[in-house]
Structure 1
Amino acid sequence: MRVLKVGPADATKVLVLIPGRGEAAGGLRLDAEQLARSVPGLQVWAIDRREQALADLSGFEGTAQQATDYYLGGHEATQTAASAGYEADWGLATELNDVRRVVLAAQDHGRRSVVLGGHSLGAAAVLYYAAWDFDGTPGYRDLSGLMVIDGGVRGALAGAGIDFSLTADQATAWRAQIAQGQVFDNATSVYTGFGDQPQAAAVWYQLAATWAAQDPHGPSALADKVPAGFRPTQPVTNAGLLGWMLDQHAPLPGYSVHSGHLSATGDWVDAGPTPLQRVAESMAAGDPAAWEWYSPNRLALDYFAGSAYSDNAVARSQGLRLQHVAEVDLPLYAFESNLTNGTVDAAASALTADTRIPRVDAQTDDSMTHLDILFADPAHNTFTRTAATFLDSLR
């Protein structure tokens, strides 16, 4: 595991952030920096899950051309079910036990209070942690607050057309697929159209971002190499290609930013809350990276199995220890973009009915996308502004 730490080392409060599906700690850097600047006495820690240690990021240590030659030339060290079969057992218990190690380190023997937050599916992990039984200790007792950022449980993503309901038979069939060798979750690559290799989307987005960061106005080096569905309809610059991939021609709403548009010459023109160079520099960085490569399929299964947020038969069949839902008594902040049409806030607010959550600070900005939350300019980022107010209100 790696943890990105931003803000003063002598902070009295730490916000620990969990990335979403396909995301890694580097994608949370800009928000972490803004929140640490905005809230006195706050340090922000962003987690790289243990599986990110399997990613071969060495090709991004040089120039964009060197990175292109390395990854498109077939030189990267890839992982397979044979080389990393142990990941078949890395589910929610593995993730939450790792998160708890980070939370306890952040507490520093009680010297600091800890707030747990997560983006997208990382938001579900936040709530799972709060209700989890860690050998007799409920997770919520480690924390002073919870933050769900464009995600959650109990239909939080239903407004985006994402159904997490799972039957016991479906869970059994999913486990059988993992046992037969489907160790990695390749949904990010498949859904975005980059292929069936689990790391494909991460590699392509980081390559495009690296070119856009290093030579934004030069003719695109990748436009004729990206998968056919991402090829622009006109000649573009390196910045133009990244903008095309993430804005004008984003594959899905969850993978888009509001940044601007292509000019007549194919260069990128900023005209939105998220300047493209902020995105390029964040996604190009490799220490830590913004994209996760080898997410465990078992973790995805467990996220689905726990989505009802109760200690039911499906959750127990997966070994999920959601035994303290009714006891969770922490203030909850919820933020949603235009992705879900209101279901994130509604699902968060509904949790007060069968938990002891004393208050929900629900915030919405329909002008922002799921990724604008991570990369928007601070002056246009409603999330960081409202989250700072919530964090400042906690002890």
Structure 2
Amino acid sequence: MRGWMVLGLVLWGLGLAQSVRWTGQPEYRAVPGASTAAGAALDKSYVLVYPAQGTPRGTIVFVPGFLGGATNFDALARRLVLAAPGWAVWAWDRRANGLEDRRGFTSPDPWAYYQNYRVPDLPFLKDWGLRVHLDDLERVVDQARSSGPVVLAGHSLGASLASLFALYRGDKISGLILLDGAPRLVPLTREQYFGGTEGGFGRLAGLNELLEGRAPPYINAFGLNPVGFAQAEAQAFMTAQNPQADAPPGWAPYRASRLAAALARVDDRYALSSIFSVSVGQSTGREGISLFSLFVGSVVYTVRGPRGGRVEWRDSGEATDPLEFISLYANPTTGFSEWFFPYRLSLDISAYEVAMPELRPRSVAYPVLALGAGRGLLPQASNFRSVGEAFPNTRVEVRILPGLTHLDILTSRSGDAVGPIAAYLQGVR
């Protein structure tokens, strides 16, 4: 009898650690967008639709952050539709996701396919700035409003974009949620916006260089580029299919499982940038300290190879489940990243008063919920000061979720952000 009690307590504890989630298959839907020189075939954005459970009450539209794709929100969405009955979840993919060649994910060897990936010529991408994306988002919101009120929820730079939509067409939504992001994250002056500036890791081109063709129209700096994003997704996709298989040559400079090779790129112990870090465990290999991390004022470790055998990955019970996280990439339709993130969009958001002077501070009729990650971009309530500046005379509730990284706030196994979001949705009229 005592053994059954112990087993029951264990299962109860596992239930708390892994909150329940919807197990259906979301629909990937195209939404016509703003007209540009790219043409009607590309002038569309997309939503990954998680249907409401129970009598429909409304829709929450999630906006991904810098370089983010719709499946950023898969773990959160699957929990939220059960925690907030009646609310559908739409995870938005910006229009550039339609440019991705995802045929490699249905090929026999996705890694080999993207080793030979050639980036297409995309001159129209320089025109896909803030106004185009806000107009696209308006069309998504309009379509969602046919089923009831709409709440926007943005993560990171997506929180900036969602905030700017509230300044642009705030009367069309009934709520605003910011996940480790705020209206203004990286401000640029008018001079920097047009003429460029020197950043901590090199030169950042301005709008003049972009329009004159002297800068790539998509993010291509600091090792971040479409080929790298495609290859990273191929690694994760293959890992989800067989986590314990040997990593193919080129994945890591040492013998490792696919899981160990893939997660060492993003785990917070090894990732150089907090923007792309998630706490998913630890490598079993020999470790060293990254000298580059010391140069920028932090301590990040490197994996140097096996301790007597193949490098494996250990789930140490941190915030995010490693296998669930890696499975978020395993989707031939859409993915965790946006390979062709328009450089124009990042410029416009950083200097939005210059790019769209009509975007001025305004009060909105609904409260703003801001959730910070204790180990993320905005770990303190004071980091959300720009929310009050953008929305004067508006009630702003700030909550910090302790112990989470920037991505954990979306992917944690206990769904830390689900409860506050579900409670917020209960108060939406």
Superposition TM-score tier, normalisation by shorter sequence:
0.7 to 0.9
Aligned counterpart, 1:184: 217
Aligned counterpart, 1:201: 228
Q: CA deviation at 1:201?
A: 3.3
Is residue 429 of structure 2 the alignment partner of residue 386 of structure 1?
no
- Give, as a single letter, the amino acid of the residue that structure 1 aligns with 2:402: D
Is residue 92 of structure 2 the alignment partner of residue 47 of structure 1?
yes
User: Would the aligned equivalents of 2:226 and 2:339 in 1 still touch at CA under 8 Å?
Assistant: yes
State the TM-score, normalized to the length of structure 2.
0.76
Q: CA deviation at 1:365?
A: 2.0
Q: 2:133 aligns with which of 87, 95, 100?
A: 95
| Aligned positions of 1:67-86 closer than 5 A | 67-72=110-115, 74=116, 76=117, 78-80=119-121, 84-86=122-124
Q: Deviations over 1:80-117 (max 9, x none)?
A: 3xxx2111111110000000000010000xx4010011
State the TM-score, normalized to the length of structure 1.
0.82
> Residue 369 of structure 2 aligns to a residue in which SS?
strand
Q: CA deviation at 1:244?
A: 1.1
Q: 2:282 aligns with which of 261, 268, 273?
A: 261
RMSD of aligned residue pairs (Cα, Å)? 2.1
Is residue 285 of structure 2 the alignment partner of residue 240 of structure 1?
no
Q: CA deviation at 1:77?
A: 5.1
Change (3 A) 1:40 1:130: same
Q: Deviations over 1:64-91 (max 9, x none)?
A: xx1112111x1x35223xxx21111111
Aligned counterpart, 1:7: 51
Deviates more, 1:93-102 or 1:350-359: 350-359
Change (3 A) 1:144 1:301: same
Aligned counterpart, 1:292: 338
Q: Which protein has the larger Cα radius of gyration, Structure 1 or Structure 2?
A: 2
Q: Deviations over 1:19-42 (max 9, x none)?
A: 111011122122111111110110
Distance in 2 of aligned mates of 1:351 and 1:281: 34
Distance in 2 of aligned mates of 1:261 and 1:241: 11
Change (3 A) 1:360 1:170: same
Higher helix share: 1
Q: CA deviation at 1:349?
A: 5.4
Change (3 A) 1:35 1:259: same
> Residue 3 of structure 1 aligns to a residue in which SS?
strand
| Aligned positions of 1:102-141 closer than 5 A | 102-108=140-146, 111-132=147-168, 139-141=169-171
User: Would the aligned equivalents of 1:335 and 1:362 in 2 still touch at CA under 8 Å?
Assistant: yes
Distance in 1 of aligned mates of 2:83 and 2:48: 18
User: Would the aligned equivalents of 2:233 and 2:329 in 1 still touch at CA under 8 Å?
Assistant: yes
- Give, as a single letter, the amino acid of the residue that structure 2 aligns with 1:389: A
Q: Deviations over 1:349-385 (max 9, x none)?
A: 56446735542221212311111122221x2x32122
Q: 1:30 aligns with which of 52, 75, 94?
A: 75
- Give, as a single letter, the amino acid of the residue that structure 2 aligns with 1:67: P
- Give, as a single letter, the amino acid of the residue that structure 1 aligns with 2:88: Q
> Residue 246 of structure 1 aligns to a residue in which SS?
coil
Q: Deviations over 1:109-132 (max 9, x none)?
A: xx4010011111000011101111
Aligned counterpart, 2:395: 359
- Give, as a single letter, the amino acid of the residue that structure 1 aligns with 2:250: K
Change (3 A) 1:371 1:331: same
Q: CA deviation at 1:266?
A: 1.5
Q: 2:191 aligns with which of 154, 162, 169?
A: 169
Unaligned runs of 5+ in 1: 133-138, 158-163, 307-314
> Residue 47 of structure 1 aligns to a residue in which SS?
strand
Instruction: Between the two structures, name the one with larger relative contact order (CA 8 Å, sep ≥ 6).
Output: 1
Q: CA deviation at 1:342?
A: 3.3
> Residue 334 of structure 1 aligns to a residue in which SS?
strand
User: Would the aligned equivalents of 2:63 and 2:92 in 1 still touch at CA under 8 Å?
Assistant: yes
Distance in 1 of aligned mates of 2:338 and 2:389: 35
Aligned counterpart, 1:312: none
Distance in 2 of aligned mates of 1:354 and 1:297: 24
Share of identical aligned residues, percent?
26
Q: Deviations over 1:291-346 (max 9, x none)?
A: 1011111111101102xxxxxxxx24x234304x2233321111111123535x33
Aligned counterpart, 1:161: none
Q: CA deviation at 1:282?
A: 0.4
User: Would the aligned equivalents of 1:329 and 1:357 in 2 still touch at CA under 8 Å?
Assistant: no
User: Would the aligned equivalents of 1:7 and 1:43 in 2 still touch at CA under 8 Å?
Assistant: yes
Distance in 1 of aligned mates of 2:327 and 2:237: 7
Aligned residues: 346
Distance in 2 of aligned mates of 1:262 and 1:79: 36
Distance in 2 of aligned mates of 1:107 and 1:289: 26
User: Would the aligned equivalents of 1:6 and 1:44 in 2 still touch at CA under 8 Å?
Assistant: yes
Q: 1:225 aligns with which of 250, 253, 256?
A: 250
Q: Deviations over 1:161-188 (max 9, x none)?
A: xxx222222112111111132242325x
Change (3 A) 1:286 1:373: farther
Distance in 1 of aligned mates of 2:226 and 2:339: 4
TM superposition outliers: structure 1 runs of 4+ over 4 Å = none
- Give, as a single letter, the amino acid of the residue that structure 2 aligns with 1:113: P
Distance in 1 of aligned mates of 2:390 and 2:265: 42
